[in-house]
């Protein structure tokens, strides 16, 4: 049993180690990063809640077309000196009453405010969708930028590692030459200084890579970001067909497809609906109403009359001339139990219906001021739309210019690297045969390494700026697998 128990725990531990290894070996693709960011981003979740509120507002707008129906019921007790509704006398008694009813009201005409409220609700749903799309686009762009930054830092790290490996071998070879007395010891010290510098650059490159991974992990809102890494993806430099387009065409295309322009234009439509709603308050309103009510009492009721045995008659006057008494019989009511509640409800029911017309004449300038405010809001939304178009035009022209400049910088850096590589190989040949001192050789090597780093920097700067320009032209940021 003990050996079986031990084997069980060993198997559990092995499975845990394997699962941890699989978790650490996960490499995130660009598509996975973007999709995960869109699912977990808090701002997107808040915007999705705004969409739900817009849908609820639409239900409110639909509800304005429906009649209002309200029921009411009450039951009361009157205790103390009250008039007996049966005898008309004041008595100390407790009486109970029950009443119930239904009220119905419906808007027949309300200055088209209900219709305009519904149009506004539909536009608000579209606006919330545009806001969500805009936020998704911005987050996707940030993720792509962070992803490319990691790839750049990875490639830069490889350059520094290769350079350190080469200089380390060079240090070993120089050590052998110094030991053999072929080169002076000063050359060895220069090479060691170069290796130390390479180590510093390597550490800086590792830190830059770590920070870029951390930035993307935080953008994705990952909890366990210590082992976060992306897939090793080669990103080649490709000529973009968008650069062949005229900037004006790119601007026109962007105005047709960019979400911020659609959002601003939709907000103008919402402001126009608000103005129509405000103007509707100038017009009269016509409402229909209907009410049904009934009641029941729990007091004794009169079921008949009988002559008073104690005082059967009473004198009410005299006959002129004869003075004959005029008598009238005295009757007393015969009280019985109240009718059943259902019978009383059936007998006491009543209805009331009609039309109600309300004509606004003077209400403290409230309607006029609301219309004035709506006009100001409409003009503001139009200015915002115009400003958005101007901002988009300026942004597209800037992106177009920056992309062309980035391409030229990359081409120049590539040409410089090619020349530096030839110069470094020539310097290496001369150094190996003793025709160049170590200081000049290190200078040529440093220029070569700097040229490699500059190519990487300009390469990914061009790639990202190309992505932005294509994005404004309506091309997706990345191709889904």
Give 120-154 pLDDT, tens digit per residue. Answer: 999 999 999 999 999 999 999 999 999 999 999 99
The residues that bridge with 107 in the sheet, in sequence order, are: 287
Residue 354 has which token pair?
């009609």
Q: How confident is the model at residue 302 (pLDDT cuts 50, 70, 90)?
A: low
Instruction: Write down the mean pLDDT value for the chain.
Output: 85
d(CA 413, CA 161): 21
Average pLDDT for 65-84: 85
Taking 50 as the threshold, does the pLDDT of residue 23 lie above it? Answer: no
Taking 60 as the threshold, does the pLDDT of residue 446 lie above it? Answer: yes
Cα within 13 Å of Cα(178), Cβ side: 16
Q: What is the pLDDT of residue 194?
A: 86
Taking 50 as the threshold, does the pLDDT of residue 19 lie above it? Answer: no
Cα within 13 Å of Cα(177), Cβ side: 20
d(CA 335, CA 267): 73
Q: What is the pLDDT of residue 16?
A: 41
Q: According to the per-residue pLDDT averaged within each range, which of 317-321, 334-338, 390-394 is highest?
A: 390-394
Q: What is the pLDDT of residue 481?
A: 53
Report whether 113 contacts 277 (CB < 8 A). Answer: yes
Q: Of the given ranges (324-338, 395-409, 438-452), which has the lowest mean pLDDT? A: 324-338
Q: Which helix (H) or strand (E) holds 368?
A: helix 366-432
Report whether 313 contacts 351 (CB < 8 A). Answer: no
Sheet with 285-297, edge to edge strand ranges:
68-83, 90-109, 285-297, 350-358
Please indicate, yes or no, whether the overall pTM of this predicted structure exceeds 0.85.
Answer: no
d(CA 454, CA 343): 98
Report whether 344 contacts 338 (CB < 8 A). Answer: yes
Q: Which residues contact 433 (CB under 8 A, 6 or more apart)?
A: none
Pick the closest to residue 156 from 168, 145, 164 (CA basis): 164
d(CA 295, CA 341): 8
Q: pLDDT tens digit string along 354-385?
A: 999 999 988 888 899 999 999 999 999 999 99
């Amino acid at each position: 049993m003990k050996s079986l128990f031990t084997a069980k725990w060993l198997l559990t531990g092995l499975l845990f180690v394997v699962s941890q290894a699989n978790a650490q070996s996960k490499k995130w693709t660009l598509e996975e990063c973007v999709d995960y960011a869109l699912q977990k981003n808090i701002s997107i979740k808040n915007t999705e809640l705004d969409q739900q509120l817009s849908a609820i507002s639409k239900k409110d707008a639909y509800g304005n077309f429906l009649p209002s129906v309200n029921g009411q019921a009450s039951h009361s007790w009157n205790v103390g000196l009250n008039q007996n509704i049966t005898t008309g006398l004041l008595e100390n008694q407790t009486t109970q009453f029950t009443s119930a009813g239904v009220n119905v009201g419906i808007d027949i005409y309300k200055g088209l405010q209900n219709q305009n409220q519904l149009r506004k609700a539909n536009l608000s749903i579209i606006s919330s969708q545009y806001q969500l799309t805009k936020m998704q686009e911005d987050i996707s762009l940030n993720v792509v930028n962070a992803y490319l930054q990691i790839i750049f830092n990875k490639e830069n790290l490889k350059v520094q590692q290769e350079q350190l490996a080469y200089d380390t071998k060079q240090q070993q070879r120089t050590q052998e030459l110094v030991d053999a007395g072929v080169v002076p010891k000063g050359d060895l010290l220069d090479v060691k200084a170069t290796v130390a510098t390479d180590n510093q650059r390597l550490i800086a490159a590792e830190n830059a890579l770590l920070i870029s991974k951390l930035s993307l992990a935080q953008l994705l809102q990952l909890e366990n970001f210590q082992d976060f890494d992306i897939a090793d993806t080669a990103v080649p430099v490709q000529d973009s067909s968008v650069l062949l387009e005229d900037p004006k065409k790119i601007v026109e295309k962007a105005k047709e497809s960019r979400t911020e322009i659609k959002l601003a234009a939709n907000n103008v439509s919402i402001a126009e609906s608000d103005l129509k709603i405000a103007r509707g308050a100038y017009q009269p309103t016509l409402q229909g109403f209907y009410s049904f009510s009934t009641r029941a009492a729990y007091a004794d009721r009169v079921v008949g009359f009988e002559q008073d045995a104690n005082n059967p008659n009473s004198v009410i006057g005299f006959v002129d001339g004869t003075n004959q008494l005029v008598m009238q019989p005295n009757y007393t009511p015969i009280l019985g139990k109240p009718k059943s509640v259902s019978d009383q409800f059936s007998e006491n029911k009543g209805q009331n219906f009609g039309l109600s017309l309300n004509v606004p004449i003077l209400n403290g300038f409230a309607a006029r001021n609301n219309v004035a405010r709506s006009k100001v809001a409409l003009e503001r939304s139009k200015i915002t739309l115009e400003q958005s178009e101007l901002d988009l035009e300026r942004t597209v022209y800037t992106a177009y210019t920056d992309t062309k400049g980035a391409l030229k910088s990359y081409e120049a850096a590539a040409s410089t690297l090619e020349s530096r590589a030839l110069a470094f190989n020539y310097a290496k040949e001369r150094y190996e045969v003793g025709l160049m001192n170590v200081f000049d050789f290190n200078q040529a090597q440093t220029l070569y390494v700097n040229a490699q780093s500059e190519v990487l920097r300009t390469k990914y700067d061009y790639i990202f700026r190309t992505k932005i320009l294509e994005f404004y032209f309506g091309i997706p940021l990345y191709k889904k697998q």
